[in-house]
């Protein structure tokens, strides 16, 4: 939901490798993966201080949403309504 709402998302998981769903978000949506509170702080600082990095994350997230989320919001409701009318 956060990506669809255009919110940058950071995954916090103490495992070295993220679980399957988190791994998809790291690999395909470009979500940073923090394994500790200190890594989380580093990532947040980098997002705040490094505009090109922040823009790269935004672009990757938008591509993910476009590719993997066929429809959402009003468009989704319109598609459902068209199917029901058939």
pTM above 0.75, yes or no: no
Q: How far apart are CA 40 and CA 52, in angstroms?
A: 19
Confidence of residue 78 (pLDDT cuts 50, 70, 90): low
pLDDT at residue 52, rounded to an integer: 97
For residue 14, the tally of other CB atoms under 10 A from its CB is 9
pLDDT in tens, 13-65: 877 666 677 788 888 899 999 999 999 999 999 999 999 999 999 999 998 88
CB-based contact 9:3 (threshold 8 Å):
yes
CA distances from 36 to 13, 52, 58, 62 (A): 7, 24, 23, 26
């Amino acid at each position: 939901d956060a990506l669809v709402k255009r919110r940058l998302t950071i995954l916090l998981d103490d495992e070295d490798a993220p679980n399957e769903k988190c791994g998809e978000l790291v690999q395909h949506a470009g979500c940073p993966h923090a394994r500790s509170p200190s890594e989380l702080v580093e990532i947040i600082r980098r997002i705040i201080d490094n505009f090109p990095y922040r823009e790269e994350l935004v672009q990757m997230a938008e591509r993910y949403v476009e590719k993997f989320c066929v429809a959402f919001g009003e468009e989704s409701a319109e598609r459902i309504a068209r199917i029901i009318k058939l």
